[in-house]
Chains A and B, each alone.
Chain A
């Protein structure tokens, strides 16, 4: 069990990629705090479901509710994890939303919502969690970006700006924290089958598929596999990197 004794906090872990990551880290032996936001009633039940699945694996897990846009809420969440398990070794900034529309039709609220959740949220979670990693001089920060943050996408300028911001943020904290044996890496998934992408029109899915050399859409588990590796000791010399996982669409 490579992550035996480790404590992970995964944001937005009630569904999709976050859920798969939480399960993967637990599978590798980690205790997992499953963050969710209570704005949608179903999230609480979904998070409870993830916690239950982890406990069934024989690992420890706890649900932690927090709107990661809110500094006080993030601080409380991190303190909850510390109170229970005394440390945080692995932080996965996964929580993200999208409000896709072309720039000319974009509302300021859509812009702010996406930037606040996807970028500010990652900043806040990292800021509060990293101090515990610094004390123990070991840590893994894994930020879920997107291939869109590298190459851009029409109709997703807000999402792309946030995800591109995540990449620059990751590279900066990798430099800041390297001397404390804390690595920071970004994972940039391509088209992954989740509720978020299921909302897209079928023709968009088809056109995406045509661009993927491996000829299939990605699964949340594909991403979780990479995140799991980055969390282990084996990935200890990798930091400040953006690793794309997109079936080869945007090398």
Chain B
């Protein structure tokens, strides 16, 4: 499973949204996620990939695609190390 698919599964589970409708353009707001959903998703993704997503970075995510790109970069960096 790709990083994107893994994140999609996590977000779908937490927001109770069908994963097939989550695209890179989807927003948390569009998924009717509240602030607690967002935090829960961030923590779950951090745990799944053993990375850290600082709040300052998370605030910059405009949509699901931004979230995925950030995590992909972190994961790639970790693998290099």
A residues lining the B interface (CB < 8 Å) = 131, 134, 176-177, 179-180
Interface: B36 (CB within 8 A): yes
CA distance in complex: A180, B33 (Å): 13
Q: Given known contacts A131-B40, A131-B43, A176-B36, what 6 new A-B pairs fall within 8 Å (CB)?
A: A134-B36, A134-B40, A177-B36, A179-B34, A179-B36, A180-B36
Chain A, Cβ-Cβ closest to B47: A131
Q: Can you spell out 9 A-B residue pairs with CB atoms less than 8 angstroms apart?
A: A131-B40, A131-B43, A134-B36, A134-B40, A176-B36, A177-B36, A179-B34, A179-B36, A180-B36
The 0/1 profile, CB within 8 Å of A marked 1, for residues 29-73 of chain B is: 000001010001001000000000000000000000000000000
CA distance in complex: A180, B37 (Å): 10
Chain B, Cβ-Cβ closest to A177: B36
What residues on B are CB-neighbors of A134 within 8 Å? 36, 40
Chain A, Cβ-Cβ closest to B34: A179
Main DSSP-derived SS at the A contact region: helix
B residues lining the A interface (CB < 8 Å) = 34, 36, 40, 43
What residues on B are CB-neighbors of A177 within 8 Å? 36
What residues on A are CB-neighbors of B34 within 8 Å? 179
Q: How near does chain B come to A108, taking the closest CB pair, in angstroms?
A: 31
What residues on A are CB-neighbors of B40 within 8 Å? 131, 134
Chain B, Cβ-Cβ closest to A180: B36
CA distance in complex: A87, B11 (Å): 21
CA distance in complex: A19, B43 (Å): 33
Q: How near does chain A come to B44, taking the closest CB pair, in angstroms?
A: 8
Q: How near does chain A come to B42, taking the closest CB pair, in angstroms?
A: 11
What residues on B are CB-neighbors of A176 within 8 Å? 36
Q: How near does chain A come to B45, taking the closest CB pair, in angstroms?
A: 13
Interface centre among A134, A177, A179, A180 (most CB of B within 10 A): A134
CA distance in complex: A91, B27 (Å): 34
Q: How near does chain A come to B16, taking the closest CB pair, in angstroms?
A: 10
| 4 nearest CB pairs, A to B | A134-B40, A179-B36, A131-B43, A179-B34
What residues on B are CB-neighbors of A180 within 8 Å? 36
CA distance in complex: A180, B39 (Å): 13
CA distance in complex: A180, B15 (Å): 12
CA distance in complex: A84, B36 (Å): 27
What residues on B are CB-neighbors of A179 within 8 Å? 34, 36
Q: How near does chain A come to B48, taking the closest CB pair, in angstroms?
A: 13
What residues on A are CB-neighbors of B43 within 8 Å? 131
Chain B, Cβ-Cβ closest to A134: B40
Q: How near does chain A come to B32, taking the closest CB pair, in angstroms?
A: 12
Q: How near does chain B come to A75, taking the closest CB pair, in angstroms?
A: 11
